[in-house]
Amino acid sequence: MAAMVLATARLLLRGSGSWRRSRLRSGAPPHRQSRSGSASANVPLSSPLPGVPEPVFATVDGQEKFETKVTTLDNGLRVASQNKFGQFCTVGILINSGSRYEAKYLSGIAHFLEKLAFSSTDRFNSKDEILLTLEKHGGICDCQTSRDTTMYAVSADSKGLDTVVGLLADVVLHPRLTDEEIEMTRMAVQFELEDLDMRPDPEPLLTEMIHEAAYRENTVGLHRFCPTENIAKIDREVLHSYLRNYYTPDRMVLAGVGVEHEHLVECAKKYLLGTQPAWGCERAVDVDRSVAQYTGGVVKLERDMSNVSLGPAPFPELTHIMIGLESCSFLEEDFIPFAVLNMMMGGGGSFSAGGPGKGMFTRLYLNVLNRHHWMYNATSYHHSYEDTGLLCVHASADPRQVREMVEILTKEFILMAGTVDVVELERAKTQLMSMLMMNLESRPVIFEDVGRQVLATRSRKLPHELCTLIRSVKPEDIRRVASQMLRRKPAVAALGDLSDLPAYEHIQAALSSRDGRLPRIYRLFR
């Protein structure tokens, strides 16, 4: 604000060239009274302007001078905040809830709740009323569900914090869930499932399949999307039964970025302490506390992929393979070495643009895409949860070259436990740290980081602490975690024309071998 006023004053003093020259020739003082009669133009630029508050600047010394503040209310709800300069704030409620807790329920409840978010409540008659209320404070809202977390978030002007927290409390604890809203949600879920099957990018579907293969019928292996057969079965009674057990204060975190902690705590006490939710105050009795059990296995989906891309130049028919192995929980010390290993593998599509800065020095570029022109994609992913983790590689190629593609992947998995070049390790660590710091320049990302860490650990590691852990990773740490990972059974997801897909036992044997080669098959007739 001060800078803006100074810039305005500078423009007023400068004026137009002809006006200034004429005033100087006439001997008149070089200033002009503003229309409102203000004499601020007379104040020299070396002096502070009257009536303007003193600016507060953030210090830049490589480390944050403040910590994430956490307060636990009497009902068990945690309130976490992170200071950040700016006019706007991001505030939301994160809940330890998601598809992994649906073992005793119809699969797809979390998917329904995501679509029903920010609908009518006890105070607001419709979603339009909610959006109009947020619009008064320049706000937007969103709800996202994952396998283990549900997140309701709002970004708005910091002056509207009281309104925002009250609205969030109403949306989370007092949804009406009318018949009309549930019916509209059924249509939205059906449309999303159809879109998932038709979209050219198979990554979301493959992610579902690899989790299903890795954790067969338990916790994070349960479907994140609602199965088609359950769409008509989910109603208000089913939703209330689930909400009663999982939308409890001790499983919630109210997180805010860009707000005063004391003000956020006051708002939490006002709207989230002692309030009775729409489903009643009965005690939660059916909470699933299962620990993820990694099983390994294969999930295959035969599908004609020749017409998934429309247009005059359709994308070629491809078969997609994803191979994964169990890594570790984000609460374990080995989480950082696994994150560095994932960055070291890197990868992407064969048509990626951007040059070396986009990761073309990673292993999946150098060893796979640059050497095998017929492979269209090779990308590494790392999924980590409170009690387990999964590191996997997704690759795609022509159906006739599936066997060769799988062998290339198994060789790369074996090489993970081999020699680690110091230069590539340092590059991966630098890339991981820069990605971390760049992402944390965004206020919504900081909000999610604060909320998820406090929800899982009741505290938050600051970025400079994470960077210290990343810098300390050594080549022997990478070899150790990779060797440990290779002792597990693989999880395999396959989509497309699978006529040449190797048997699961052969993939497992290749990952147990020294060189990663598939067992040779000799056929009398072809």
- Residues 272-282 pLDDT 10s: 998 999 998 87
Cα separation, 401 vs 407, in Å, equals 10
Residues 6+ apart with CB under 8 A from 207: 322, 381, 383
End-to-end C-alpha distance for the chain, whole angstroms: 77
Q: Which token pair is 165?
A: 């927290």
Q: What is the mean pLDDT of residues 421-431?
A: 96
User: Which among 51-65, 228-242, 292-306 has the top mean pLDDT?
Assistant: 228-242
Regarding predicted confidence, which is higher, 436 or 45? 436
pLDDT band at 26 (very low <50, low <70, confident <90, very high): very low
CB burial readout 183-193, b (16+ within 10 A) else e? eebbeebeeeb
Residues recorded for the chain: 526
Q: What is the mean pLDDT of residues 295-307?
A: 87
pLDDT band at 7 (very low <50, low <70, confident <90, very high): very low
Q: What pLDDT, on a 0 to 100 scale, did the predictor assign at position 291? A: 95
Rg, C-alpha atoms of the chain: 28
Q: What pLDDT, on a 0 to 100 scale, did the predictor assign at position 160? A: 96
Cα separation, 84 vs 256, in Å, equals 10
pLDDT band at 49 (very low <50, low <70, confident <90, very high): confident
Query: What rounded mean pLDDT belongs to the chain?
Result: 88
Residues 6+ apart with CB under 8 A from 348: 358, 359, 364, 365, 369, 377, 378, 379
Q: Which CATH architecture has domain 297-512?
A: 2-Layer Sandwich (3.30)
CB atoms within 10 A of CB 139: 22
Right CATH number for 69-272 from 3.40.50.12780, 3.30.830.10, 3.40.50.620, 3.40.50.300? 3.30.830.10
Residues 6+ apart with CB under 8 A from 308: 198, 199, 200, 315
pLDDT band at 147 (very low <50, low <70, confident <90, very high): very high
Cα separation, 433 vs 445, in Å, equals 15
297-512 and 69-272 share a CATH fold = yes
Domain ranges of the chain: 69-272, 297-512
The 3-class secondary structure across 227-252, one letter per residue, is CHHHCCCCCHHHHHHHHHHHCCHHHE
